[in-house]
Amino acid sequence: MDQLMAIRAFARVVEAGNFTRAADSLEMPNATLSKLVQELEAHLGVRLLQRTTRRVTVTPEGRDYYEKTARILRDLEDIDTGFNAARSTPRGQLRVDIGGSTAREVLIPALPDFMARYPDIRLDLGVSDRSVDLISDNIDCVIRGGPLDNSSLIARHIGAATLITCATPGYLQTFGTPAYPQELKNGHRLVSYLSPQTGRAFPFRFARDGEKTEIKVDHRIGINESNAHLAAGLAGLGIIQTFSYAACAALKEGALVEILSAWRPAPYPFHVVYPQNRHLTHRLRVFIDWLLECFPARISGRVMK
């Protein structure tokens, strides 16, 4: 038995939650992965995993073994990385998940610089406003805005975006231009952004002189994807609240007009997030460093494509 490989195989099953995802992430047949775990259990003389046709659960002994060996695996990988990073070129596959408008307006226009610096990195982008499970979906990192609610993840702040409220000139000519946030409740049509996780509409947020206001009214239309949400505003379906980087081109062209600019809410934080129990590979490390270098200005709208 290759004990180190067996330990790595067992760890990936724990992290991924099933054998199929773990085998895919390790690029090995499911049967090989299963045999490695069985050999490890036989070597230790304990049951590490309980298997059923539908799910895999970790036994108390398996949980204890995972927590102890995970530290060893991280130490070994850190040692290897320390020897290799200084003299090797980052290479291999990097899986990144990011929201729709952030990908289109911020990340992708900047990617030629990253790909030129690191030509041996193959980047796979998952573009969706829906949250992913970094461990089970085998994602290296995600780029997301908003508050963080998972303490098992490591987050690096990469900038803050500006939320603006806007509508088309045609809409404003028909329905009028509100002077105060509360006027949105008086016959205006709102296009709400819906949480991709819960389906609930995010309130329109405003702030001025330390006073914060949230407007919650029945929306005319709700959309749970950022590019489509912007498109609804451009179609004149109603007032939207979106990020300035997403609406920048439309504002310059006059297709959208910002309203209630004196009531812009506080800057909206963005982070790159990755699992704390996943080794920080050389390719992920340079990607995060690159984000820290280029993202703050782009997400704030100071640098556009």
Tally Cβ neighbours within 10 Å of residue 172: 17
Q: In whole angstroms, give the CA distance from residue 190 to residue 159.
A: 28
What pLDDT was estimated at residue 138? Answer: 76
Q: What is the mean pLDDT of residues 30-35?
A: 90
Q: What is the mean pLDDT of residues 61-71?
A: 87
Which residue is associated with the tokens 């200084």? 86
Which residue is associated with the tokens 């050999």? 39
* CA-based nearest residue to 232, from 189, 202, 201, 198: 189
Joined tokens for residue 88: 């090797």
What pLDDT was estimated at residue 140? Answer: 87
Query: What kind and span of H or E run contains 164?
Result: strand 163-167
Name the pTM for this structure. 0.73
Tally Cβ neighbours within 10 Å of residue 210: 5
pLDDT tens figures, 211-234? 899 998 888 899 999 999 999 999
What pLDDT was estimated at residue 87? Answer: 57
What pLDDT was estimated at residue 277? Answer: 61
What pLDDT was estimated at residue 83? Answer: 62
Distance of CA 171 to the CA centre of its chain: 33
Joined tokens for residue 23: 């085998």
Q: How confident is the model at residue 116 (pLDDT cuts 50, 70, 90)?
A: very high
What pLDDT was estimated at residue 305? Answer: 46
243 - beta bridge partners?
163
Q: How confident is the model at residue 86 (pLDDT cuts 50, 70, 90)?
A: low
What pLDDT was estimated at residue 263? Answer: 95
Average pLDDT of the residues of the chain: 87
Cα torsion for 85, 86, 89, 94, to the nearest 10°? 30
What pLDDT was estimated at residue 302? Answer: 66
Q: In whole angstroms, give the CA distance from residue 283 to residue 267.
A: 30
**Residue 194 CA: distances (Å) to CA of 20, 185, 191, 202, 247:** 32, 18, 9, 6, 18
What pLDDT was estimated at residue 16? Answer: 81
Joined tokens for residue 37: 């775990």
Q: How confident is the model at residue 124 (pLDDT cuts 50, 70, 90)?
A: very high
* CA-based nearest residue to 12, from 53, 59, 58: 58
**Residue 213 CA: distances (Å) to CA of 90, 103, 202, 203, 204:** 47, 29, 13, 10, 8
Joined tokens for residue 31: 């049967």
* CA-based nearest residue to 293, from 97, 139, 113, 92: 113
Among the ranges given (3-12, 16-25, 80-89, 133-142), the one the predictor scored with the smallest mean pLDDT: 80-89
**Residue 82 CA: distances (Å) to CA of 88, 281, 282:** 10, 10, 9
Tally Cβ neighbours within 10 Å of residue 23: 20
What pLDDT was estimated at residue 80? Answer: 67
Among the ranges given (83-92, 108-117, 120-129), the one the predictor scored with the smallest mean pLDDT: 83-92
pLDDT tens figures, 144-165? 988 776 666 788 999 999 999 9
No. of helices (H) and no. of strands (E), the chain: 10, 14
